[in-house]
C-alpha cells in the first residue's frame, strides 16, 4: 500500500495544485467586479439638495466653476480635468468639525501626494472672511501642498450653488437668509466624468478608510 502511494505521490501533488488553481480561477470569474454607485440628487438626503435638482434621476454632474485658491490663482474645472478628486466645505475659523475634517484631509494628502491621478478641493462657506491671504495662512499652517490641494474662495452665490446643486453637501439655514448655508462633514468623491461616486463622514476615521478603499476601486475602473 505504501509503495502504491509513493508511486503516485507526485501525481497527487500536481493534481492538488491544479485543482486549487482551477478553483481560484472559477472564483475570480464568478466574483462580481466591485463598482461604485453614481449618485443622483434623488438618492441623497433632501435637506442637502437644492429644490431645483432634488428629483434628478440621472446625468447629474458637478457644474463648471471659477474660484480663487490660496495663492490667488483662478481655479476652474479645467484644473481637475481627467482627475479624480475629493471635495469638501469648511471655513477657517470653524472650531467644531472643521479641524477634524482638515486633519483627515491632511492624512489623505499624505497618501495621495505622489499620485498624479488624484487631487483635493476645499471650498470655504464663509468667503467674506476667508480671503486669499487668510486661506494662504491657513494652508501654510496645515501643510497644504499647493499642487495637490486647492482651498478656494469666491462669489458666495456660486459656492452656495455648487454646494447645494452640484455636490449635494450642505444644508440651507432655512432662516430666509440669501445664500446662507450650514456645511456638513461630508467628503465627496468625484470621478473623471465629474460624477459623484461617494459621500463620507470627514470626522470619522472608519469613513476615511472606506473612502481610501473606494478611491482604489474607482482608480481600477480607469485601468
Do both 123 and 20 map to the same domain? Answer: no
Do both 59 and 157 map to the same domain? Answer: yes
Residue 98, marked binder? yes
Q: What is the pLDDT of residue 176?
A: 58
Q: Is 122 a domain residue?
A: yes
Do both 24 and 109 map to the same domain? Answer: no
Q: Is 195 a domain residue?
A: yes
pLDDT digits (tens, 9 = 90+) for 199-221: 999 999 999 999 999 999 999 99
Whether 28 shows a pLDDT value over 50: the answer reads no
* Domains of the chain: total: 2
pLDDT confidence bin for 33, thresholds 50/70/90: confident
The CATH number covering residue 183 comes to 3.40.30.10
CA distances from 130 to 19, 68, 160, 162, 173 (A): 63, 11, 15, 17, 19
Backbone torsions φ then ψ of 201, nearest 5 degrees: -75, 110
Do both 110 and 211 map to the same domain? Answer: yes
Do both 198 and 156 map to the same domain? Answer: yes
Q: Is 127 a domain residue?
A: yes
pLDDT digits (tens, 9 = 90+) for 76-95: 999 999 999 999 999 999 99
Do both 17 and 84 map to the same domain? Answer: no
pLDDT digits (tens, 9 = 90+) for 153-172: 999 999 999 999 999 999 88
Can you say whether the dihedral through the CA atoms of 163, 191, 31, 15 is positive or negative? negative
Do both 65 and 175 map to the same domain? Answer: yes
R_g over Cα of the chain? 23
Question: What global pTM score does this model have?
Answer: 0.85
Closest by CA to 126, choosing from 89, 73, 165, is 89
Do both 23 and 115 map to the same domain? Answer: no
Do both 91 and 187 map to the same domain? Answer: yes
Residue-number span of the structural domain to which 50 is assigned:
41-221
Q: Is 85 a domain residue?
A: yes
Q: Is 19 a domain residue?
A: yes
Q: Is 181 a domain residue?
A: yes
Q: What's the grid cell of residue 89?
A: 466645505
Q: Is 115 a domain residue?
A: yes
Give SS3 for 23: helix
Most confident of 5-19, 28-42, 124-138: 124-138
Closest by CA to 151, choosing from 122, 131, 130, 189, is 122
Residue 25, marked binder? no
Q: Is 36 a domain residue?
A: no
Do both 3 and 100 map to the same domain? Answer: no
Residue 94, marked binder? yes
Do both 142 and 50 map to the same domain? Answer: yes
Do both 4 and 80 map to the same domain? Answer: no
Amino acid at each position: 500500500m505504501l509503495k502504491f502511494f509513493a508511486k503516485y505521490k507526485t501525481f497527487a501533488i500536481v493534481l492538488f495544485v491544479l485543482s486549487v488553481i482551477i478553483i481560484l480561477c472559477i472564483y475570480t470569474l464568478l466574483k462580481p467586479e466591485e463598482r461604485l454607485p453614481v449618485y443622483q440628487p434623488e438618492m441623497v438626503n433632501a435637506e442637502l439638495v437644492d429644490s431645483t435638482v432634488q428629483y434628478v434621476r440621472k446625468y447629474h454632474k458637478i457644474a463648471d466653476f471659477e474660484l480663487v485658491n490660496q495663492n490667488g490663482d483662478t481655479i476652474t474645472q479645467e484644473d481637475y480635468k481627467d482627475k479624480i478628486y475629493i471635495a469638501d466645505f469648511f471655513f477657517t475659523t470653524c472650531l467644531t468639525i472643521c479641524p477634524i475634517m482638515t486633519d483627515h484631509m491632511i492624512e489623505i494628502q499624505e497618501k495621495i501626494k505622489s499620485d498624479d491621478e488624484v487631487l483635493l478641493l476645499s471650498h470655504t462657506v464663509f468667503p467674506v472672511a476667508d480671503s486669499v491671504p487668510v486661506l494662504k495662512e491657513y494652508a501654510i499652517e496645515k501643510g497644504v501642498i499647493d499642487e495637490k490641494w486647492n482651498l478656494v474662495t469666491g462669489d458666495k452665490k456660486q459656492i452656495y450653488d455648487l454646494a447645494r446643486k452640484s455636490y449635494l453637501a450642505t444644508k440651507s439655514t432655512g432662516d430666509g437668509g440669501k445664500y446662507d448655508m450650514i456645511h456638513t462633514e461630508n467628503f465627496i468623491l468625484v470621478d473623471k466624468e465629474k460624477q459623484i461616486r461617494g459621500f463620507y463622514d470627514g470626522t470619522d476615521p472608519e469613513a476615511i478608510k472606506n473612502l481610501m478603499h473606494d478611491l482604489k476601486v474607482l482608480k481600477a475602473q480607469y485601468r
